[in-house]
């Protein structure tokens, strides 16, 4: 019964999956009020921000590699329903079943780390999992 409910929820969330980042952005904006320089150093802050940027860039690279190797008829920017004619098992899909979502999470993680708050990273990870696990089940 739980799996059925998650699949129902996944069908609903599938249409709105691109908007997940806006909720994370809200948490980041609220958290910026508590900004501080790590170790009291502007230079360390710049390095930290470059590291966060690097994490997000890894996610973009994952998405780029995935999109660059998608055969026709297996994926698309559809929001109403699934349209894949066959299952893609090439490229990064041979390693993980959802490389685009993995890339999204890594981008999401880099943005969350900018908050310098493990609470925000944890909340955003939970929100990501809560939104994408039902979608993946579908």
Return mean pLDDT, the chain.
Answer: 81
List the structure tokens of 108.
């999401």
Domain, as residue range, for 28 = 2-137
Return d(Cα 18, Cα 115) in angstroms, integer.
Answer: 21
Give whole-number Cα distances, 26 to 23, 82, 102, in Å: 5, 29, 21
Tell me phi and psi for residue 55, to 5 degrees.
-60, -50
List the structure tokens of 115.
């908050």
What is the number of structural domains in the chain? 1
Digit-coded pLDDT (tens) for 29-53: 777 767 777 778 889 989 999 999 9
| CA nearest to 14, candidates 76, 80, 71 | 80
pLDDT > 60? residue 79: no
Task: Report how far Cα 55 is from the mean position of its chain's Cα atoms.
Answer: 12
Helix residue ranges, H only, the chain:
2-14, 20-31, 42-68, 99-113, 118-137
| CA nearest to 111, candidates 43, 34, 21, 35 | 21
Digit-coded pLDDT (tens) for 2-38: 777 777 777 777 766 666 677 767 777 777 767 777 7
């Amino acid at each position: 019964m739980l799996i059925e409910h998650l699949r129902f929820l996944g069908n609903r969330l599938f249409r709105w999956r691109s908007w997940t980042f806006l909720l994370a952005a809200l948490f980041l904006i609220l958290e910026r009020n508590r900004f501080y320089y790590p170790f009291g150093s502007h230079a360390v802050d710049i390095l930290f921000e470059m590291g966060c940027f690097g994490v997000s860039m890894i996610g973009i690279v994952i998405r780029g590699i995935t999109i660059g190797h998608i055969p026709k008829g297996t994926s698309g920017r559809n929001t109403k329903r699934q349209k894949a004619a066959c299952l893609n098992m090439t490229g990064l899909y041979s390693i993980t079943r959802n490389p685009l979502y993995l890339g999204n999470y890594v981008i999401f993680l880099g943005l969350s780390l900018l908050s310098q708050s493990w609470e925000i990273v944890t909340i955003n990870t939970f929100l990501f999992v809560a939104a994408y696990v039902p979608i993946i089940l579908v």
